[in-house]
Chain A
Amino acid sequence: MKQYPSRMGVGASSILLILVVVSLTLFAALSLMQARADAALTQKTAESIATFYDADARAQEKLAALDDALQQGASPESIDGVTRQADGTLSFSIQTQDGHALNVRVDPSNGKCSILAYQYENTQDWAGENAGTLWQGG
């Protein structure tokens, strides 16, 4: 019986293994990095939403305090943070830890607070980050 020599030399399987292992490791590391980035983003969103509802709760409590002050005939400006505008409306701002503010403007003319504006705004200036890794052209 004639025996044919093996065409696969020593080292071919090692090269194949290295390629396969490197590829699998790369995909696994990428998927782990992506999952961790998603988790971090979700955590950030959760914190942001909790911060908003905390500011919203403080604003609602302040509205209740404003209504009480109006009913008792007390000056609304006596409540901390409430200021009267030139047009007679009252406004206050609730600051949050993450650089946002809930700005509220109410109309006290009929003895109760009627909400005119209830805006959640960013109070920090946006600063673009450039790591210097982008190709600038030329």
Chain B
Amino acid sequence: MTQPMLLPPKKRSSFSPVLIELTIVILFFALSASVITRLIAVADNTARTSAYESRAILALQSVAEQVKADPIGDNTCNECGARVFAIEVDKDLTVDCVVTSDDSPQQGTLYDIELTVTSPSGKVYALDAVRYLADAEVAP
């Protein structure tokens, strides 16, 4: 009979491989998540800006056509001879209009229509339009 060899008790490591791996995985995930979150935030900001710009362009175009159809309007001009008014298209979207008339044509008037939209972030979108109205023409 052989005597079982007496071995020293196996020393258990305080850090198991799974624990070390989990630590590394959590650290790497935190790093990746911060980068990805920043990427998604940039995408969201770009999408919101572009959506607002799209709405602003549509509103500018719509108001431009309205003003071109009737550039005289209620004919209330300020001391500079310009008709200044604002049209609220949406809660966060207001189109500011300045209509100035140019009487240099002999048979009518050229109306210069300047439209601007200022976004909540301060960016300004502008559109200029011109309408010629002959003297005999009556706006619809």
CB interface residues, A 78-131, toward B, < 8 Å? 112-113
Q: Which residues of A contact B106 (CB under 8 A)?
A: 67-68, 71-72
A67 engages B108 (CB within 8 Å):
yes
CB interface residues, A 30-59, toward B, < 8 Å? 31-32, 34-36, 38-39, 42-43, 45-46, 49-50, 53-54, 56-57
Which secondary structure dominates where chain B touches chain A? Answer: helix
Instruction: Report if A61-B132 is in contact (Cβ < 8 Å); known contacts: A35-B50, A112-B107.
Output: yes
B49 engages A39 (CB within 8 Å):
yes
B61 located at the interface, meaning its Cβ lies under 8 Å from any Cβ of chain A in the complex? yes
Which secondary structure dominates where chain A touches chain B? Answer: helix
Question: Roughly how many angstroms separate A77 CA and B53 CA in the complex, as a whole number?
Answer: 42
Question: Roughly how many angstroms separate A6 CA and B132 CA in the complex, as a whole number?
Answer: 84
A57 engages B128 (CB within 8 Å):
yes
Separation in Å of the A56 CB from the closest CB of chain B? 7
In the complex, besides A27-B40, A32-B39, A53-B64, 15 extra interface pairs with C-beta distance below 8 angstroms are A9-B18, A11-B21, A13-B18, A24-B36, A25-B36, A34-B43, A35-B46, A39-B50, A42-B57, A45-B57, A49-B60, A60-B132, A71-B106, A71-B107, A72-B106
12 A-B residue pairings within 8 Å (CB atoms): A6-B18, A9-B18, A17-B29, A35-B47, A38-B47, A39-B47, A49-B60, A61-B130, A64-B110, A67-B134, A71-B106, A113-B134
